[in-house]
């Protein structure tokens, strides 16, 4: 049993400011003021991202559910996404009675491979979800071209991509709509929470109505929904924490990048190990630094987990292919998605991680090949 202090893999960065705003919301944010922090949080997020519209939600899952519903996704439809993902990105497809189509990922970005997405298009394809995994960007040029060619909307699940930029545009601002998560593990947190963003006025109005239990904003009759909508709202207290985080967002992103740079520097000389890529013209927000060992190193997930556990470090496994999980049907032909988790590990990256802790993590990785 290690006597070394525990290194967690994520935890939020909370200062006096978050506590002060949340306290103010709890004490005063009621009645006429019950939306003050929500409105402020949405405005701050719009401005950070450079988008026209933003709707705060209780989760990213809820934001995706409403966005897909607004696009008309329903029974008989197919939605294409990468096999390498967390279930939250695909569950809303199932909620709507549509079918997720899992395609293989690119070996370098670990994100959806546009060629595989193209090959999976059928007359039933209703949308493509581009998930920027661990902060790494999907190839948005190829995906947006593909979407235009077939008239299929490309959606960005940018929950892991706060701080990531594709040729000058922030992740989440490019697709038909973007979604974000403010779960406690994410770069910006409200505890639980999410955001729907879009530049499309029509889509915004549809999601706004859906998000308000189907009540259109022009409806003057009280308690009069025009359709059955959803209840995925963020509370004013959560939004208060979000407002404080948005005032610190540049620092929160910078810290993630500094932590990654430290990993890269300490691990740079290691043969057979790759970390998250940052291709020319892009910026990676590095939500989750991830180490992938080459097949010929013989380093396995099991050995990595054992070595980190022995050092009292909370490192997490790379996402299993969604198609390998019990609710779905296996697609081992997605060879990259099936191969990656066997030789990869997520590294700790919370904002308060110290240099000494980063060195402890790197020492474990360096010890794998000796």
Ligand X SMILES: *Cc1c(COP(=O)(O)O)cnc(C)c1O
Interface residue list for ligand X (CB under 6 A): 59-61, 86, 88-89, 131, 157, 159-160, 181, 183, 194
Nearer to ligand X, 100 or 215 (CB): 100
Shortest distance (Å) from residue 207 CB to ligand X: 16
SS3 content of the chain, % helix, strand, coil (to 5): 40, 15, 45
Nearer to ligand X, 183 or 255 (CB): 183
Nearer to ligand X, 61 or 136 (CB): 61
**Rounded CA separation 154/305 (Å):** 36
Token pair 């949405």: residue:
42
Which residues touch 31 (CB under 8 Å, ≥6 apart)?
none
Shortest distance (Å) from residue 299 CB to ligand X: 25
Shortest distance (Å) from residue 188 CB to ligand X: 11
Start-to-end C-alpha separation, the chain = 22
Angle, vertex CA 293, rays to CA 164 and CA 278, nearest 5: 20
Q: At what angle do helices 236-247 and 36-49 cross, to 10 degrees?
A: 40
Shortest distance (Å) from residue 47 CB to ligand X: 21
Nearer to ligand X, 41 or 267 (CB): 41
Tell me whether strands 125-131 and 78-82 are parallel, antiparallel or unpaired. Answer: parallel
Shortest distance (Å) from residue 223 CB to ligand X: 28
Give, for 327, the enclosing helix (H) or strand (E).
none
CA distances for 104 relative to 97, 176, 332, angstroms: 23, 22, 9
Nearer to ligand X, 186 or 360 (CB): 186
Shortest distance (Å) from residue 285 CB to ligand X: 12
φ, ψ for residue 7 (rounded to 5)? Answer: -105, 115
Shortest distance (Å) from residue 6 CB to ligand X: 23
CA distances for 148 relative to 64, 81, 175, 200, 326, angstroms: 21, 17, 11, 15, 34
Nearer to ligand X, 176 or 368 (CB): 176
Shortest distance (Å) from residue 100 CB to ligand X: 13
Give the SS3 label for residue 84: strand
Nearer to ligand X, 234 or 364 (CB): 234
Tell me whether strands 194-198 and 282-283 are parallel, antiparallel or unpaired. Answer: unpaired
Q: How many CB atoms lie within 10 A of CB 346?
A: 19
**Rounded CA separation 276/133 (Å):** 10
**Rounded CA separation 205/217 (Å):** 8
Nearer to ligand X, 245 or 267 (CB): 245
């Amino acid at each position: 049993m290690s006597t070394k202090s525990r290194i967690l893999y994520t935890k939020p960065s909370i200062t006096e400011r978050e506590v002060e705003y949340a306290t103010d919301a709890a004490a005063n944010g009621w009645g006429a003021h019950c939306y003050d922090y929500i409105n402020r949080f949405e405005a701050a997020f719009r401005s950070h991202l450079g988008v026209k519209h933003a709707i705060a939600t209780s989760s990213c899952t809820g934001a995706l559910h409403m966005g897909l519903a607004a696009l008309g996704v329903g029974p008989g439809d197919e939605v294409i996404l990468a096999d390498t993902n967390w279930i939250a990105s695909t569950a809303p497809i199932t909620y709507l009675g549509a079918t997720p189509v899992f395609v293989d990922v690119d070996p370098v970005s670990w994100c959806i491979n546009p060629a595989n997405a193209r090959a999976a298009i059928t007359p039933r394809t209703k949308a493509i979800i581009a998930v920027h995994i661990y902060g790494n960007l999907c190839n948005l040029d190829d995906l947006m071209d593909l979407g235009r060619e077939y008239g299929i909307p490309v959606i960005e699940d940018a929950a892991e991509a706060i701080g990531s930029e594709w040729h000058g545009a922030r992740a989440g601002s490019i697709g038909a709509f973007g979604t974000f998560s403010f779960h406690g593990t994410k770069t910006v947190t409200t505890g639980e929470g999410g955001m729907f963003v879009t530049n499309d006025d029509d889509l915004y109005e549809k999601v706004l109505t859906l998000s308000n239990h189907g009540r259109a904003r022009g409806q003057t009759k009280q308690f009069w929904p025009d359709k059955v909508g959803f209840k995925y709202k963020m509370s004013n207290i959560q939004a208060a924490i979000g407002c404080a985080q948005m005032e610190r967002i540049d620092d929160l992103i910078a810290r993630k990048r500094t932590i990654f740079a430290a990993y890269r520097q300490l691990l740079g000389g290691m043969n057979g190990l790759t970390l998250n890529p940052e291709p020319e013209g892009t910026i990676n927000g590095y939500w989750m630094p991830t180490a992938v060992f080459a097949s010929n190193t013989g380093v396995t997930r099991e050995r990595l987990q054992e070595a980190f556990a022995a050092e009292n470090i909370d490192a997490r496994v790379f996402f299993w292919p969604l198609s390998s999980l019990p609710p779905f049907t296996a697609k081992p032909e997605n060879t990259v998605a099936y191969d990656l988790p066997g030789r990869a590990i997520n590294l700790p990256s919370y904002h308060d991680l110290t240099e000494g802790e980063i060195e402890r993590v790197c020492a474990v990785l360096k010890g794998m090949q000796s």
